[in-house]
Amino acid sequence: MNRKVTEFLYGDSYAYQNLLICVPSLLPPLVSKACHPVDKEALLDFKHRIISDPSELLNSWTVSSNCCTSWDGVACDVSGRVVNVSRPGLVSGNDFIEDTYMSGTLSLYLGNLSSLQLLDLSNLKDLKGPIPREFGKLSQLTYLFLDSNKLTGSIPMTFGYLSQMKKLYLSDNFISGSVPASVARHWTSVLLGLSGNLLSGPIPSTIGKWIMITKIDLHGNNFSGRIPAGIGNLKNLKFLDLSENKIGGSIPPSIGGLSELILLYLNENHLTGRIPSSISGLTSMQFCRLSDNKLTGKIPSSFGNLLNLQTLDLSRNQLSGQLPPQLAKLQRLQTLDLSFNPLGLVEIPNWFQELKLFRLILAKTGIEGQLPHWLASSSLSVLDLSSNSLSGNYLIGLVLKLVNNGLSGKIPVELGDAKKLSTILISRNKLIGAIPEKVINLNELKEFDVSSNRLRGRIPTHKAIIPVSAFKNNPGLCGAPLPPC
């Protein structure tokens, strides 16, 4: 996931982690009352179950001191009840989190912190064992961050009682089992991060009731079943990542109701059927990945309405038929990946030159003929047109093509005028002639692969470091890094 997206997802939580850093040391003691004995006992029991704390993060947590005024990461209300417990050891002043860890298990006594609003024990890396069912007693709990640990077991059923929950982060643990609809019944949570666990079973059908929710990240689990149709009710949803699961069925047309959605990642699932034309309703969408599924039919022309789209990745599906020319309207599009679809493109449509793409990936899409000359004046950095002469049974119009011809003719010298090109992947085609010196010496060139073509002649001297494998299977090519001519 790129940095932009990561910031988008985690931005909020970091923002107030930074606020918290100041809580124990810098705020004047608003709190005069001594720490409530039940809360102190609970936190000392938590400390007791931490069997390794090499950076001594919990050193300030002593029996003789006031937990409200002297304990790192602990904040109380005026009556001496603990309201916030956050991971101690955050370094103030910047985003840098001290690289440290704590080993141990979560104390059942934490369930006694009856005024607790925030519990942030994220990124301690070595918290093990289950989330105690006693956490269901934390009726004021609003923010729970336990991500990046080694927690096991399932999400306790008692979470159904946590009616105040606004942000729940359990990502990157080993939590298994399903998310029963009854657990999620009361959640209207504005942020839900359960990615990178071993969760399975269907996405709870109650999802349609989480009307306040803005972010749902369930990627990298083992969720199956279908995408609940109720998802279209989540009018505030901005971020939906269900990628890398085993979700099947078709994309519900109701998804078009998500007019605030900025990011939709459904890639690496078992989705079938057509992409619904209602996708045109996702007018805020900037990042769309539906790759690595079993989607069929045409690419809907209604994608042309999504004027904010920056990334469109439909690769590795079974999409076929003509590309809708309406895609030319997507003037903010930077990445277009349609590779590994039986599109039978034959040629790169001319309207592609109206786009201002940065990455164009059309590997194995049935392209034939010469490389278009307009590529020379494009702003492309990454061009991947490889594997277009691989055999495949593509139905083009009414004619079943058994073999694709791929790119043919010479690599045009003018391609060397596309100064921003850093990646040129044109292996497995039927290109002939020599490699133009100007192309292989493009200033930004980092990746170059022309293997398995019919190129001939001496490889021009070049400064980019290109492996031998990038030239192989061209019987007529010679010169370094291949044997001398």
Ligand X SMILES: *[C@@H]1O[C@H](CO)[C@@H](O)[C@H](O)[C@H]1NC(C)=O
Options 10, 61, 101, 109; binder of ligand X; rule CB under 6 A? 109
Q: What would the x/- binding string for ligand X be over residues 75 to 104, using CB under 6 A?
A: x-------xx--------------------
Work out whether 178 is an interface residue with ligand X (CB under 6 A): no
Spatial CA neighbour of 43 closest among 8, 16, 7, 74: 74
d(CA 477, CA 485): 8
- Check: CB of residue 310 under 8 Å from CB of residue 288: no
User: Which range binds ligand X by CB under 6 A, 106-114, 250-258, 265-273, 279-287?
Assistant: 106-114
Work out whether 108 is an interface residue with ligand X (CB under 6 A): yes
Contacts of 131 (CB under 8 A, 6+ apart): 106, 146, 151, 153, 155, 156, 170, 175
d(CA 410, CA 450): 12
**Parallel, antiparallel, or unpaired for β 222-224 and 198-202?**
parallel
Residue 190: HSE in the Cβ half-sphere, 13 Å Cα cutoff: 7
User: Which range binds ligand X by CB under 6 A, 108-116, 283-291, 341-349, 410-418?
Assistant: 108-116
Smallest gap from Cβ 42 to ligand X, in A, equals: 6
In order of 247, 291, 364, 394, the CA distances from 319 in angstroms are 19, 11, 12, 11
Q: Which is nearer to ligand X, 200 or 408 (CB)?
A: 200
Beta partners for residue 201, in sequence order? 223
Q: Which is nearer to ligand X, 104 or 344 (CB)?
A: 104
Q: Which two tokens stand for residue 366?
A: 């049935």
CA angle 82, 87, 93 (to 5 degrees): 110
User: Which range binds ligand X by CB under 6 A, 105-113, 144-152, 178-186, 279-287?
Assistant: 105-113
Q: Which is nearer to ligand X, 83 or 362 (CB)?
A: 83
Work out whether 23 is an interface residue with ligand X (CB under 6 A): yes
Q: Which two tokens stand for residue 418?
A: 């596309």
User: Which range binds ligand X by CB under 6 A, 110-118, 226-234, 315-323, 329-337?
Assistant: 110-118
Q: Which is nearer to ligand X, 113 or 319 (CB)?
A: 113
Question: Residue type for 17, please?
Answer: Q
Options 12, 134, 260, 437; binder of ligand X; rule CB under 6 A? 134
Smallest gap from Cβ 421 to ligand X, in A, equals: 41
Work out whether 13 is an interface residue with ligand X (CB under 6 A): no
Q: Which is nearer to ligand X, 16 or 351 (CB)?
A: 16
Q: What would the x/- binding string for ligand X be over residues 184 to 203, using CB under 6 A?
A: --------------x-x---
User: Which range binds ligand X by CB under 6 A, 107-115, 147-155, 209-217, 409-417?
Assistant: 107-115
Q: What would the x/- binding string for ligand X be over residues 28 to 67, using CB under 6 A?
A: ----------x-----------------------------
Spatial CA neighbour of 244 closest among 264, 228, 267, 227: 267
Work out whether 246 is an interface residue with ligand X (CB under 6 A): yes
Q: Which is nearer to ligand X, 38 or 328 (CB)?
A: 38
Dihedral Cα 14, 130, 244, 446, nearest 10 deg? 50
Sheet holding 102-105, edge to edge: 50-52, 102-105, 125-130, 150-152
Options 13, 66, 117, 388; binder of ligand X; rule CB under 6 A? 117
User: Which range binds ligand X by CB under 6 A, 56-64, 112-120, 149-157, 230-238?
Assistant: 112-120
| Three-class DSSP category at 115 | coil
d(CA 162, CA 185): 10
Q: Which is nearer to ligand X, 18 or 277 (CB)?
A: 18
Residue 263 buriedness (CB in 10 A; 0-12 / 13-18 / 19+): buried
Q: Which is nearer to ligand X, 137 or 359 (CB)?
A: 137
Q: Which residue has the tokens 């990178």?
A: 196
Q: What would the x/- binding string for ligand X be over residues 204 to 223, using CB under 6 A?
A: ------------------x-
Q: Which is nearer to ligand X, 27 or 395 (CB)?
A: 27
Options 111, 136, 196, 406; binder of ligand X; rule CB under 6 A? 111
Q: Which residue has the tokens 């109650």?
A: 206
d(CA 86, CA 108): 17
Give the other-Cβ count within 10 Å of 279's Cβ: 22
Dihedral Cα 353, 459, 407, 300, nearest 10 deg? -40
Residue 434 buriedness (CB in 10 A; 0-12 / 13-18 / 19+): middle
d(CA 54, CA 126): 12
| Three-class DSSP category at 473 | coil
Smallest gap from Cβ 353 to ligand X, in A, equals: 45
Work out whether 138 is an interface residue with ligand X (CB under 6 A): no
User: Which range binds ligand X by CB under 6 A, 111-119, 179-187, 450-458, 472-480?
Assistant: 111-119
Q: Which is nearer to ligand X, 77 or 417 (CB)?
A: 77
Options 67, 118, 207, 216; binder of ligand X; rule CB under 6 A? 118
Instruction: Give the binding site for ligand X (CB under 6 A).
Output: 16, 23, 38, 75, 83-84, 108-109, 111-112, 117-118, 134, 198, 200, 222, 224, 246
